[in-house]
Structure 1
Amino acid sequence: MKVLLYAEATRLISKSGIGTAYKHQMEALRRAGLDYTSDWEDEYDIAHVNTVGPGAKTVVQHCKRKNIPVIWHVHTTAEDIKNSFIFSNFYARVSRNSLKKKYAMADHLIFPTHYTETVIRNYGIHVPGTVISNGVDTAMFKKDVDKAQKFRERFGIKGPIVLGVGFPFKRKGIHDFVSVARRMKDLTFIWFGARITSVLPREIRQILKNPPENVIFPGFISQEELVGAYSAADVFFFPTYEENEGIVVLEALSCECPVVVRDIPVYENWLWHGTNCMKGHSNEEFEKIIKALVADKSLGLKIASEGRKTALERDLSEIGKLLTKTYESVLRRCKG
């Protein structure tokens, strides 16, 4: 069996969650011993599509003509487009029907979480599907004391660190991250993520341009440096309002960095408050939780240890097995 792993505009999405998920699929299939190609004009038995642009639609139509089964990976929903870039709310409104038509063309869907499946089913899409995490490379993302020290030295930080990672979108809660930082001036807050300021609303551009003294926005960093950041941080604070999974959350869990998230549906049934993470509903709650984790190292260690177990369940080797099983099932169903 040979698989097409397809994503368009790979350079453009390379610093995004979709780009990371795409790379994860390549590594997962390599570990599973499956042959794959990224060239849609190549020969292959099944197509696994990751993006929703015009190129993806062309590939799907090509596969339909060739009687090649298509799996569409649901990374994009109308809900997670909102409150991101300029005009994103308008685009979210008009994109729902477009996404519905595209996903309905597939023979099978892959959802990163049960939450994403619920969202898509509410669109009225009844294509068969499977829930498979985007996964995390637990061998790469593991706590590293040396990298943590280098990270602290690079930024000259001796005290507690609160870390955030992702595009600085309002949807990701960047404004709440900064608001909580203003309340906790004795801690250093750092948010890593590509600063695509040209597409950000004025409100967010102003936050990035004039942050509080204890907030740093260094931009995008390499995975190796990110391991150092997760390893050095006392708390990973991710107050996002909408996600389909959150690969950065998996990375933080894998590096045994205590995770604090907003209590939203995507985290139900795999992240549990007080066990493998801490959840809050407001900035006041986030402040209390972060203070507790910084003050009580034993609580942080307990949360972090359970978080690592959660990440190991989603290691790319396990994802490779699940993808293989799904491909084989879809091929049997579609080819008889």
Structure 2
Amino acid sequence: MLTINMFSSADKVKGQGVGSVYLDLVKMLEENFPDTLEISINKMKKTQITHYHTVDLPFYFSTFFKKSRGRKIGYVHFVPETLEGSLDLPWIAKVVFYRYLVDFYKRMDHLVVVNPSFIPILMELGIKEEKITYIPNFVSKKMFYEYKDEKKASVKKAKGFKESDFIVFGAGQIQDRKGVDDFVELAKENPHMQFIWAGGFSFGKMSSGYEKYKEIYENPPENMTFTGIISREELVDYYNICDTFLLPSHNELFPMCILEAFNCGAVVMLRDLPLYQSIIDGDFLPAKDMQDMHKMLNDMTKNPELFDSYKKKSRKAAQKYSEENLSKIWYDFYLEQAAVEHRHFSVQSDD
């Protein structure tokens, strides 16, 4: 049996995708490979593979105990440049943290990135390409799935919306890089639609643009609702009752909310960022800017064929990033890494 220890504090902060990725991966491994994988969480015991999900300082210190950690796998959910627009830190704190982050990644034996666009960035930081593997995120169909029409109608009514309401839904932490400003402006420009944003200030006053967004959060346009940080069960309701899932982010990683929306059969509209082209190109409505988003939202209210075609694209994309597909990829990856560590250890023993 292969032993894997997960180091993570991702589930301590509500409303962030890293926590969802971590919890879903552990659950998937435990359910699909109970007889071949032994998973432990935050244990300082000897193991064949240690998978680092977050970059906590105690986890960094643990990397110096090579024989106990086995093969060290780092999960790259962000790089220095993607943190811009997420957190407001004093410049000196930012410099220190960015250096620490890069050093943490360099202490890993292998890195897993959630987006292939991270690979050249990591290479520029001095990490060899052969030490990096791209494995996309996935979403469980048991948690995120498309409701029947009758349930969609009843949930929509229970949430206080009329059957005829055209609902635009967005999700994520409220911060600069998420494009919340454009989402709010779109609500103002389209009073005939209903806009909902799920998410809050996961990092409190450290969230980028906190004071500005706190004012907007407390005084939104009449046709806009901020739900705050909500449970994943409630998120499923909103994905199902929305007519369009819109994420206007200026900078992204590989947001779980996009895959969640695909799984629930929602039409997905995104700002047309280069990073999406290598992972979900053709699966979503690409918008250059807010004006483009405004036009396409209104086009969909008049063009049911366009609407239906992108619902079909979402359902097809959901199959590509399903738990079934990704479980084998992860299992094979862990076996491969364990074999590399065994060969490395054998060579050292012979020496």
TM surpasses 0.5: yes
Say yes or no: does 1:155 pair with 2:159. yes
Contact 1:173 1:238 in 2 (8 A): yes
Shift in alpha-carbon separation, 1:32–1:92, aligned structure 2, 3 A: farther
Number of equivalenced pairs: 332
Q: Which runs of 4+ in 1 moved over 6 A?
A: none
Contact 2:62 2:69 in 1 (8 A): no
Please give the alpha-carbon distance, in whole angstroms, between the structure 1 residues aligned to 2:132 and 2:220: 43
Please give the alpha-carbon distance, in whole angstroms, between the structure 1 residues aligned to 2:10 and 2:62: 13
Contact 1:191 1:216 in 2 (8 A): yes
Say yes or no: does 1:21 pair with 2:21. yes
Deviation at 1:312, TM superposition (A): 1.4
Shift in alpha-carbon separation, 1:89–1:136, aligned structure 2, 3 A: farther
Contact 2:45 2:68 in 1 (8 A): no
Please give the alpha-carbon distance, in whole angstroms, between the structure 2 residues aligned to 1:88 and 1:190: 32
Please give the alpha-carbon distance, in whole angstroms, between the structure 2 residues aligned to 1:243 and 1:306: 21
Structure 1: gaps of 5 or more residues:
none
Partner amino acid, structure 2, of 1:295:
K
Deviation at 1:286, TM superposition (A): 0.8
Of 98, 101, 104 in structure 1, the residue corresponding to residue 100 of structure 2 is 98
Say yes or no: does 1:50 pair with 2:50. no
Contact 1:79 1:242 in 2 (8 A): no
Please give the alpha-carbon distance, in whole angstroms, between the structure 1 residues aligned to 2:91 and 2:270: 23
Say yes or no: does 1:327 pair with 2:334. yes
What's 1:252 paired with?
261
Deviates more, 1:144-153 or 1:199-208: 144-153
Partner amino acid, structure 2, of 1:121:
M
Of 57, 60, 68 in structure 1, the residue corresponding to residue 63 of structure 2 is 60
Partner amino acid, structure 1, of 2:110:
H
Normalising by structure 2, report the TM-score.
0.88
Say yes or no: does 1:305 pair with 2:308. no
Partner deviation per Cα, 1:199-252 (whole Å, 9 max, x = no partner): 342222222122111110011222222111111100000011122201000000
Contact 1:136 1:254 in 2 (8 A): yes
Where do residues 197-212 of structure 1 align in structure 2 (5 Å cutoff)? 197-200=204-207, 201-212=210-221
Deviation at 1:60, TM superposition (A): 2.3
Deviation at 1:85, TM superposition (A): 3.1
What's 1:190 paired with?
196
Contact 1:147 1:231 in 2 (8 A): no
Of 181, 188, 191 in structure 2, the residue corresponding to residue 175 of structure 1 is 181
Partner amino acid, structure 2, of 1:251:
E
Contact 1:52 1:76 in 2 (8 A): no
Shift in alpha-carbon separation, 1:305–1:281, aligned structure 2, 3 A: same
Q: Report the secondary structure of 2:5's partner residue.
A: strand
**Could you say which structure has the larger radius of gyration?**
2
Deviates more, 1:193-202 or 1:252-261: 193-202
Deviation at 1:88, TM superposition (A): 7.4
Contact 1:28 1:319 in 2 (8 A): no
Contact 2:115 2:279 in 1 (8 A): no
What's 1:136 paired with?
139
Deviation at 1:89, TM superposition (A): 7.2
Please give the alpha-carbon distance, in whole angstroms, between the structure 1 residues aligned to 2:297 and 2:92: 35
Deviates more, 1:147-156 or 1:160-169: 147-156
Of 215, 222, 232 in structure 1, the residue corresponding to residue 224 of structure 2 is 215
What's 1:108 paired with?
110
Deviates more, 1:16-25 or 1:116-125: 116-125
Please give the alpha-carbon distance, in whole angstroms, between the structure 1 residues aligned to 2:92 and 2:287: 29
Contact 2:72 2:109 in 1 (8 A): yes
Deviates more, 1:120-129 or 1:237-246: 120-129
Structure 2: gaps of 5 or more residues:
344-351
Partner amino acid, structure 2, of 1:310:
A
Q: What percent of counterpart residues are identical?
A: 25
Partner deviation per Cα, 1:163-222 (whole Å, 9 max, x = no partner): 001111111111111111111111010000134453342222222122111110011222
